[in-house]
Structure 1
């Protein structure tokens, strides 16, 4: 893996066809990097209503799109993928046997790559419009150690709480900040991000320490906070629109979106140390080795984003970028980037898929889903051998 920085201009970038309504530009180092580490990247853009799959296809970065209704949070565990959408959570499972069907079909063209992962829908849970933000699989402590499984937890931004899915209800709240006294859909503090440590949610970010509906907007420039979930204490104040906290390699990482930076926080002192600065609103963060994959949004000229440091630093809208940047966290150098030129202006989640080189998600092909059956071992034993895959 090369640590040389990607050229910041377009001299090392490759364009998609000009007539592509979702055109993007990428450095040649991006697909090379994915090939070297044997991975792909998932990206959600609620503004465009897409799940974007970034994957290497014969030395070219293939930006593959699937339509979803305002997708935001992503959570990956093993062969399971969960996506939080406008009013529901979709759960997809990898069904490797379907990959051969994708390779054989003209409806799934590639430049020669072979699919190695195929996510098929397995469960949908209607939450209502709770403004789902980040999600994660966490260890469920309700059963015995032999029975424990993981459960999906998500940031319920509308109700200012963390929640899980329910068999009967829209959601089950499991935690909320001390200053949020009532459970009501007012988006008081804009709870948005979560960090997992030792299998549980340990830190969360919010844009304000308020109880009034939309109260966070009043001090969005520097009212952001980081909360220790275990103690309930607010351990950092004065952040500019923080997102995507992560515990990685023994350090607490954070995106200070209003500044357009990636950095670390000392939980003991609350001091934030920027590691890298980007030409966009940083939101969406995933790690692989010494690399951080960071989502960038253009940010609109609107009441939500006006007055933040990033907008002051990049005064012209065309200076603000939307895409995925790869940075070496040890040096702060940019290694590669994929910039969306048209169609996509805002990104929410970024998730690296280690060991998954060329995935697809099938939610649009009723015929393929209809003839792809998944059975347990006991039932599969009764299926004729020629039908088993």
Structure 2
């Protein structure tokens, strides 16, 4: 990249959602008085346009869902809305599913293919269902081919589906977890869907005692086949975000800052690219990987091999998004967030989406934004 663009933002304490066409003057962000600098590669907007995609990513630290698209004039468009402890996210041009502090949120795009909001937004995602789960430490989320949502319940060390009556419906737990208890024993965190079904999960270790994963961060990480209960890979450092793409199982070895894949014949993790940060949140589009990066958090992410690797490269940890070519391993586009925001959680690609926005459930706009489905007598 020959140049970069910089955006400085000073958040407003009463803001629950905001958008900007970058570069611009200000955007709202995390609910503190600390400013956030938004920097991005000069070709990011054009890349999104050429690929016909937008991105969605989350930060539980700021409590925001972020949408990144592009405008007709070539500017990058960034929109955000308040969702407390925003975590796992999955979506497409029709809807987005989002896990928060206590809820599973379903957001629906209310615009038809030929409609535009304010003459520029091609998708408006509105929260239409917010199912209360309780503080289960919701992590990643997937959607079965029959439309049923499945999600990682980290506090209770299991995979779950929504329940009509209760907080959740457990559908699988690791074979080494002896009982469902609110103890975050192994730090189950990542979920890979294959052919519309949950297939692989990541955990920081195989501990079966309360909070046991914290003592196994360096090399206790593993990947489990949900269908067979087989542990297919071990010896990882805080793995996250397993994904099946182009016939390979990819995963982020967060403690070493590496994106890589699993050799199913040997069970070994094959590093592909080093990233300058605690990697968490992974999506793919064609020959590109979209990776989320966070700065090491005191007491949780520090003291890992990642620290030494950053020192050797004379580099600081990032908070942001890097888009990499799988064939070359090069970073082709990026977005970086500095200042008050230091951690992201998940990222997903929205195919066929140009310039999306969402209405936060506590925003003023959602009070008066009313849409009506076509009456049955008009059909």
Tell me the TM-score normalised to structure 2 length. Answer: 0.88
Higher alpha-carbon Rg = 1
2:134 corresponds to which of 128, 149, 164 = 128
| CA distance in structure 2 between the aligned counterparts of 1:380 and 1:119, rounded to whole angstroms | 25
Partner residue of 1:51 out of 65, 75, 80? 65
Aligned to 1:161: 158
1:1-389 maps to which residues of 2 (within 5 A)? 6=1, 12-17=3-8, 20=26, 21-57=35-71, 58-96=73-111, 102-103=117-118, 114-139=120-145, 149-300=146-297, 302-315=298-311, 319-363=316-360, 364-375=362-373, 378=376, 380-381=378-379
Residue 299 of structure 1 deviates from its aligned partner by 1.5
CA contact (8 A) 2:70 2:354 kept: yes
Give the drift of 1:380.
5.0
TM-superposed CA distance for 1:93, in Å, is: 0.6
CA deviations 1:2-34 (Å, max 9, x no partner) are xxxx4xxxx521001465533211111211101
CA deviation after TM superposition for structure 1 residue 76, in Å? 1.4
Verify the 8 A CA contact 1:98 1:118 in the aligned structure 2: no
* Consecutive unaligned residues in structure 1, runs of 5 or more: 1-5, 105-113, 140-148, 382-389
> Runs (4+) of structure 1 moved beyond 3 Å?
17-20, 97-102, 315-318, 364-371
Which secondary structure does the structure 2 equivalent of 1:96 belong to?
Answer: coil
Contact 2:110 2:371 in 1 (8 A): no
Equivalences, count? 353
8 Å Cα contact 2:285/2:349 also seen in 1: yes
Q: Per-residue deviation at 1:374? A: 3.3
User: Distance between the aligned counterparts of 1:230 and 1:78, measured in 2?
Assistant: 29
Shift of 1:39: 1.1
Counterpart for residue 109 of structure 1 = none
Q: Does the CA-based 8 Å contact 2:276-2:315 persist in structure 1?
A: no
CA contact (8 A) 1:76 1:136 kept: no
